[in-house]
Amino acid sequence: DSDLSMRTVSTPSPALILPPRSSPGVLNGSSTSSSTFGTETIAMVHTPPTSLTHPQRSLRQPRDQQGAPIDILPDHAFLQIFTHLPTNQLCRCARVCRRWYNLAWDPRLWRTIRLMGDVLHVDRALRVLTRRLCQDTPNVCLTLEMVVVSGCRRLTDRGLYTVAQCCPELRRLEVAGCYNVSNEAVFEVVSRCPNLEHLDVSGCSKVTCISLTRDVSVKLSPLHGQQISIRYLDMTDCFALEDEGLHTIAAHCTQLTHLYLRRCVRLTDEGLRFLVIYCPSVRELSVSDCRFISDFGLREIAKLEGRLRYLSIAHCGRITDVGVRYIAKYCNRLRYLNARGCEGLTDHGIEHLAKNCLKLKSLDIGKCPSVSDAGLEQLALNSYNLKRLSLKSCESITGRGLQVVAANCFDLQLLNVQDCDMPLEALRFVKRHCKRCVIEHTNPAFF
């Protein structure tokens, strides 16, 4: 009764997702063909299982044990349970019995496909799954809104072409770490999925731009040709992204509110100028580890004014108090700032920040050797809403500055003073005044 004897175009097998077996399977004492060959996981589909077990086996069971206790659950209870299962386990459930098959393929359970694993042949898995989901609506998966295949290194452009062709209602796509994906496939998804709002291509080193395909751009008017609905874009570790690519992204994705460009090391201040011109609604922006970003870039970012809530400029070595002063003056609604490793930042920059950004809740100024107790005093006297503060490896900070912060920022919830020469008395003072504060430290005498 091997499953291999029932190959049809009906139900995707868990073999789509499970790692390959090292040797052929053995069933009932006889060797059968394995569902995997070599080290490749293949896509395999099956017919709906019958509701009865094998006739000979059912005769051996007492009548009072033929029905499993779980069978008494109503359909809505099963559906609620199935909503918590990942894609591969949902495929397993579809093979238990006919009732489970019908429930497991309820369209309400297939708003998301989530696949993971290096050995998974993800291109084939996506093709088989979308084919099954398209049975009621030929060639189109109207229910599928989210596809997550992060970490599936075997994903190629073929898999994304399948998603683009079959999933017009897609709203969220995550392909982080899939370094075989290229611009062309991303363009295809963006062009065919007009409702796409969330795109994560972090770690996709071949992706250098986000745009519509040429065919779609020609069909649309110049006004509509720029209307891509993406609001959240993560291009962390897209090392090949340059200013020209960011210019194209900004010109097409004018509705961006969240943009993460961590370690896009080729970007300069010029790219940020284009971003601000075309995307005035950006609320969260990260340019951490972009070594060519300087104070001129922060002057451009400051043009976002009160809309900017989150900014990360960590390890941007060319940034000084001048750039931070622009941010403090114009972005007075800033809630989060990460300036770790900005060695040009001093007490003067912290003072401007404290006096202008009164709603600041999280600040990371670790590894800023020029920030001292004087800067902390200004922060403590003005930033009453501060909840998270990192001073890791700040050589000029002493226990006195820490006590001033604790005496004024009662709502502090996290304080990082690792690799700081902090006396035990100062840490105890913080603990007494900020009772809910978690202190991260390297003082073995304090616990």
The predicted-structure confidence for 99-155, as pLDDT tens digits, reads as follows 888 888 888 888 999 988 776 789 998 998 888 888 777 778 888 999 999 888 889
Would you kindly state where each structural domain of the chain is located, as residue ranges?
Answer: 332-446
Distances (CA, A) of 399 to 163, 392, 407, 417, 430: 57, 14, 12, 10, 10
Structure tokens at 127: 């093709």
Report pLDDT for 185.
95
Q: What is the pLDDT of residue 33?
A: 34
Rounded Cα–Cα distance for residues 333 and 345 (Å): 20
Virtual CA dihedral for 393, 394, 399, 400, nearest 10 degrees? -170
Q: Which residues contact 244 (CB under 8 A, 6 or more apart)?
A: none
Taking the C-alpha atoms of residue 44 and residue 18, their distance in angstroms, rounded to an integer, is 11
Query: What is the C-alpha separation between 235 and 208, in angstroms, rounded?
Result: 9
Give residue 66's pLDDT: 58
Q: Is pLDDT larger for residue 318 or for residue 60?
A: 318
The per-residue pLDDT for 444 is: 83
* pLDDT per position as a tens digit, 252-261: 999 999 999 9
With residues binned 3-state (H G I as helix, E B as strand, rest as coil), the percentages for the chain, rounded to 5, are: 40, 15, 50
Quote the pLDDT of residue 44. 41
Place 219 in a pLDDT band, splitting at 50, 70 and 90.
low
Query: Higher confidence at residue 67 or residue 244?
Result: 244
Whether residue 427 is predicted with pLDDT greater than 90 in this model: the reply is yes
Asked whether residue 2 carries a pLDDT value surpassing 50, the answer given is: no
Q: Distance of CA 226 to CAs 154, 229, 252, Å?
A: 31, 9, 4
For 75-79, 185-189, 314-318, which range has the lowest pLDDT when averaged over its residues? 75-79
Smallest CA-to-CA distance from 376 within 343, 406, 334, 331 is with 406
Q: Is 263 exposed, middle or buried (0-12, 13-18, 19+ CB in 10 A)?
A: buried
pLDDT in tens, 145-184: 999 998 888 899 999 999 999 999 999 999 999 999 999 9
Q: What pLDDT is recorded for position 215?
A: 64
Residue 50's pLDDT is 53
User: For 302-314, what is each residue's pLDDT tens digit?
Assistant: 999 999 999 999 9
Q: Calculate mean pLDDT across residues 70-92.
A: 85
* pLDDT at residue 25, rounded to an integer: 38
Q: pLDDT category, 233, cuts 50, 70, 90?
A: very high
pTM comes to 0.83
Q: Which of 1, 11, 6 is nearest to 45 (CA)?
A: 11
- CA 262 → CA 86, 172, 173, 283, distances in Å? 30, 20, 19, 16
Residues 4-28 have pLDDT tens digits of: 333 334 455 544 554 444 433 333 3
Average pLDDT, the chain: 84
Beta carbons of 24 and 57 less than 8 angstroms apart: no
Q: Looking at the DSSP assignment, which residues form a beta bridge with residue 344?
A: 320
**pLDDT above 70: percentage of residues in the chain:** 82
pLDDT at res. 12? 54
- Residue 385 above 70 pLDDT? yes
Q: What percent of the chain has pLDDT over 90?
A: 62
Cα–Cα distances (Å) from 358 to 236, 257, 335, 371, 384, in that order, read 30, 22, 9, 19, 8
d(CA 233, CA 210): 10
Q: How many Å apart are CA 318 and CA 295, to the nearest integer?
A: 7
- 332-446 homologous superfamily: Ribonuclease Inhibitor (3.80.10.10)
**Mean pLDDT to the nearest integer, 382-389:** 94
Look at strands 172-174 and 146-148 and give their pairing.
parallel
Which residue shows structure tokens 């200013």? 243
Q: Can you give the pLDDT at residue 45?
A: 45
pLDDT of residue 220: 52
Residue 326 CB coordination number (10 Å): 19
Kindly state the tokens that stand for 120. 């998974």
Q: Which residue did the predictor score with more confidence, 25 or 320?
A: 320
